[in-house]
Amino acid sequence: MGSQTSVQEMPLHCRLLLSLLSLAVGTAVWLPSLRFVFRPGRDQFRSEVDVAPMARELARRHVDLWMQPEGGTADIDVMRINNPEWDFMGRTFLVLSLANMCLHEPELRHTYLPVIDRIIEDTDRIAQTKGIEYFLLRYATESQFVQQPVRSIFVDGELALMMGARRFLAEHERFRERMRELVHITADRMAVGPVLSCESYPNECWIFCNTVALAAIKMHEILDGEDHGQLLRDWVATAQRKLVHKETGLLCSSYTYDGQMLDGPEGSTLWTAAHCLQIVDEAFAEDQYRRAKSEIAHQYLGFGWAGEWPSSWLGPMDVDSGPVIPILDVGAGSSGQAFVAAASFGDTEYYRSLATTLMFAGFPQVRDGRMRFCASNQVGDAVLLYSTVAGPLWGLIRERSRGGAMR
Partner 1 sequence: MMDRPRRWYRQMRAMKWFCPGSFVLCAMVCAAVYVVLYLLGWRESTSVLCGTLPEDRTAQTIQAFQATMYVIFYMGTAVVAPILVIAAIVFQAIVRLWKGQGNAAIDATVTVHEVDLELDGNCRGNANNVE
The residue ranges that bind partner 1 (CB under 8 A) are: 3-4, 6-8, 10, 12, 15-16, 18-19, 21-23, 25-27, 29-31, 34, 37, 78-79, 81-83, 319, 322-323, 332-333, 336, 360, 363, 365, 374-377, 380
What are residue 329's phi and psi, to 5 degrees? 60, 55
Find the shortest distance in angstroms from Cβ 249 to partner 1: 29
Which helix (H) or strand (E) segment is 371 a member of? strand 370-373
Give 389's contacts (C-beta < 8 A, 6+ positions apart). 46, 51, 52, 55, 97, 100, 101, 104
Q: Which is nearer to partner 1, 64 or 226 (CB)?
A: 64
C-beta closer to partner 1: residue 4 or 144: 4
Closest CA to 291 of 258, 348, 249: 249
Q: Residue 14 and residue 10: Cα distance in Å, rounded?
A: 6
Minimum CB distance to partner 1 smaller for 374 or for 406: 374
Which residue's CB is nearer to partner 1, number 284 or number 360? 360
Closest distance to partner 1 from the beta carbon of 1 (Å): 11
The secondary structure element, H or E, covering residue 325 is strand 324-325
* φ, ψ dihedrals at 398, nearest 5°: -65, -40
Tell me the torsion sign for CA atoms 368, 370, 371, 375. negative
The distance from CA 294 to its chain's CA centroid, rounded to whole angstroms, is: 19
Closest separation between CB of residue 322 and partner 1, Å? Answer: 4
Q: In the complex with partner 1, which residue's Cβ is closer, 72 or 333?
A: 333
Distance in Å, CB of 83 to partner 1, minimum: 8
Residue 1 or 283 with smaller CB distance to partner 1: 1
Q: What is the distance between the alpha carbons of residues 297 and 330, in angstroms, rounded to a whole number? A: 9
Rounded Cα distance, 198 and 153, in Å: 6
Residue 291: count of CB within 10 angstroms of its CB: 20
Spatial distance between the Cα atoms of 222 and 403, rounded to a whole number of angstroms: 10
Please, what is the minimum distance in Å from the beta carbon of residue 272 to partner 1? Answer: 16
Q: For the sheet containing 205-206, what is the strand order?
A: 205-206, 254-255, 261-263
Taking the complex as a whole, how short is the minimal distance between the CB of residue 108 and partner 1, in angstroms? 28
- Taking the complex as a whole, how short is the minimal distance between the CB of residue 395 and partner 1, in angstroms? 30
- For partner 1, which is the closer residue by CB, 40 or 202? 40
CB of 306 to partner 1, least distance (A): 14
Of 187, 320, 194, 188, give the one whose Cα is nearest residue 260: 194
Contacts by 313-321, CB closer than 8 A, 24 or more apart: 313/245, 313/247, 313/248, 313/264, 313/265, 315/263, 315/264, 315/266, 319/82, 319/83, 319/85, 319/137, 320/253, 320/266, 320/268, 320/269, 321/266, 321/267, 321/268
Distances (CA, A) of 17 to 1, 31, 33: 21, 21, 25
**DSSP per residue, 288-311:** HHHHHHHHHEEEETTEEEE-SS-T
Instruction: State the minimum distance, in angstroms, from the CB of residue 92 to partner 1.
Output: 17
Whichever of 30 and 300 has its CB closer to partner 1, that residue is 30
Q: Which is nearer to partner 1, 193 or 307 (CB)?
A: 307
Nearer to partner 1, 38 or 394 (CB): 38
* Residue among 91 and 167 whose Cβ is closer to partner 1: 91
Which residue(s) pair with 299 in the sheet? 304
Minimum CB distance to partner 1, residue 293 (Å)? 22
